[in-house]
Amino acid sequence: MADIGHSDVLRLPYDVVVIGAGGSGLRAAIEARLAGKRTAVISKSLFGKAHTVMAEGGCAAAMGNMNPNDNWMVHFRDTMRGGKFLNNPRMAELHAKEAPERVWELEAWGALFDRTKDGKISQRNFGGHEYPRLAHLGDRTGLEIIRTLQQKVVALQQEDAVSHGDPEALIKVYAETTITRLISDGEGRIAGAFGYIRETGEFVLFQAPTVILATGGIGKTFKVSSNSWEYTGDGHALALLAGAKLINMEFVQFHPTHMVWPISVRGLLVTESVRGDGGVLRNSEGRRYMFDYVPDVFRAQYAETEEEADRWYADPDHNRRPPELLPRDEVARANNAEVKAGRGSPHGGVFLDIASRLPAEEILRRLPSMYHQFKELADVDITKEPMEVGPAQHYVMGGVEVDPDTGESAVPGLFAAGEVSGGMHGSNRLGGNSLSDLLVFGRRAGLGAVEYLNRLGPKQPVPDEGAVEAAQTEAQAPLQRTGGENPYAVHDAVQETMSSLVGIIRTEAEIRRAMAELDKLGERAANVAAAGGSAYNPGWHMALDMRNIMLMARCVAAAALERQESRGGHTRDDHPGMSPAWRRVILACSLEGDTVAITRQDTPQMRADLLALFDKSELKKYLTEEELASIPAPAPAATAAASATATATEETH
């Protein structure tokens, strides 16, 4: 199958190349393989080490197992509210409708979930979700999903061993392989992906007419992040360099609860399921402070007293939700405010208390990983004492602009799914929506790539050899440069700049300072060097990653400067209000030469039948007067029909 071409580049022909071996990448690859397409899965790390395993709390899907009132329409409403109505409504609709099927599919493939007493998949509460909606396996849900998808890949390979005499005939995983450039055919169509094998340093060109980006986020742009080391914005940058747009890059999620002590594990995620299972946030005075931070747009849905909040767990139909279960952006800002006000914990966080809320045996049953994590790493017994937690960068809502139904970008043959794609979550992602997002849109991207291939026919785009040679020259440059910059020092400076000036709270003056500093750092990043050869050289790997990290930093800063309001994961201290006029604006990043350009485009409009799912009084908080005037009267018959359809779907499972 392989041969060595000119310039010592290994050439591997495929139909579909999936860059990323997490939840969305594996689900996309499985779909392409099920359609009979030769599929390569590129993993920057070892197979099974994907960041998806860090999604601990659960997978959001409106199955109604814990509360029969739940359905896709409620899930859709919660997702739009969480994203402050900046979401692409078609993506939110598809996600809400299809998430249950994707969970049941995993179950059929062997996934284990915690069960209710009557044998259904158990579901837990999470922030921003009206009903218990997260299918879970303790606090190790992401790990179980990755295990299941990997096992499905192995099962397909076993089938291929029987049918084709080769287990890797139709799907093969390339571990520890990094892609540095997407290659076109000279006419703007995808024709391949160029990179290197980390162990040997050997260059490789995956020749394929379709590429699916599933590379996750940009966490390594910030100093304290829950993200794994692979999250250097590779897919975002590859798409940008190939001519695609990135949207919503100003919206960076800072998850409210990460470990703050000891310093060696600062930024390690503390799952939201601690709060979903009854944990509460307290300041140094022992007070549950979240009642002070409920925004007006959410006040009707959240309890005003501790008594009502505690009653909600047993009787959600007659009480309002605890404010600890507000969307993540609200909780992160509240935690940050308490620390700034001098009411933080000894190590600069706040206290998360589950010990006084549940019996020890129940904590050990529901949160085994959290117990082990704190006991082993911080010598804290969470069944007896509170945890010290604080915000850290966790997710980016921004990503490649794609077609909601197919996952295709503006670049022919280029698709994206999961965190690397933009639009689904608007300005803020609800916890649990990430895992179902991976499954729903991973599958859709795989289908989209198959449909594109079928339209393309036998005449495949051929890689532009000049582009291949340029990619090889670019990759070799840090190894051939003498007296250059240390890539680790430049990376540290970028992280410090972004965290201190474009972090949770932003101002115009600070963002401008950041952009000026990034200009200087860009010159240094262009001159990074790595000693030694190309065989497993971490310094070289970091030098190549710096291009992507710099691009992401510039996109986030430029978009943050442009959006003069506060919404979701973007808080401007100098523009604290949320503006209906700005809700109509999506900011898109593109490249003009080497410069990041920001353009404004219209937010996708919501269909009338979806608008009818909301009370007009609620829409007044988000929409302009012009938009409100154009909303037709509700159609009760249509709404009732949709409800009946949702109920029928639930009853068949």
Confidence of residue 569 (pLDDT cuts 50, 70, 90): very high
Provide the 8-state DSSP code for 302: B
Asked if residue 638 has pLDDT above 50, the reply is no
**Closest Cα partner for 437 from 91, 50, 141, 84?**
91
Q: Are 83 and 105 in contact (CB under 8 A)?
A: no
Q: What is the mean pLDDT of residues 190-204?
A: 97
Query: CB neighbours of 146 closer than 8 A, spacing ≥ 6?
Result: 22, 23, 26, 48, 50, 52, 53
CATH code linked to domain 257-392: 3.90.700.10
Which of 95, 236, 255, 563 is catalytic? The answer is 255
Least confident of 250-264, 497-511, 517-531, 638-652: 638-652
Give dist(CA 30, CA 444) in Å, integer.
11
268 in Cβ contact with 387 (< 8 Å): no
Q: Tell me the average pLDDT across 573-594.
A: 96
Note the pLDDT of residue 4: 36
pLDDT of residue 24: 98
pLDDT band, very low/low/confident/very high, at 153 (cuts 50, 70, 90): very high
Q: What is the predicted pLDDT for the residue at 392? A: 92
Q: CATH 3.50.50.60 region(s) of the chain? A: 9-251+397-465
pLDDT tens readout for residues 66-122: 999 999 999 999 999 999 999 999 999 999 999 999 999 999 999 999 999 999 999
pLDDT of residue 175: 97
Local structure of residue 193 (DSSP, 8 states): E
Residue 653, pLDDT > 60, answer no
Q: Say which of 275, 321, 394, 547 is annotated catalytic.
A: 275
Closest CA to 192 of 5, 462, 387, 570: 462
Question: Hey, what amino acid is at 21?
Answer: A
The class that CATH gives domain 9-251+397-465 is alpha beta
With b for 16 or more beta-carbon neighbours within 10 A and e for fewer, the 226-253 pattern comes to bbbebbbbbbbbbbbebbbbbbbbbbbb
- Smallest CA-to-CA distance from 9 within 241, 184, 201 is with 201
Residue 3 has pLDDT above 90, yes or no: no
Q: How far apart (Å, rounded) are the C-alpha atoms in residues 496 and 493?
A: 5
Write the pLDDT tens digit of every residue in 514-545. Answer: 999 999 999 999 999 999 999 999 999 999 99
**Residue 634's pLDDT band (boundaries 50, 70, 90)?**
low
The reported pLDDT for the residue numbered 147 is 96
pLDDT at 636: 54
- Do 209 and 461 contact (CB within 8 A), yes or no? yes
Q: Is 275 a catalytic residue?
A: yes
Q: Residue 432: how many CB atoms within 10 A of its CB?
A: 30
Per-residue pLDDT reduced to its tens digit, 206-219: 999 999 999 999 99
Is 255 one of the annotated active-site residues of the chain? yes
Domain ranges in the chain with CATH number 3.90.700.10? 257-392
DSSP state of 371: H
Strand duo 210-213 + 414-416: pairing: parallel
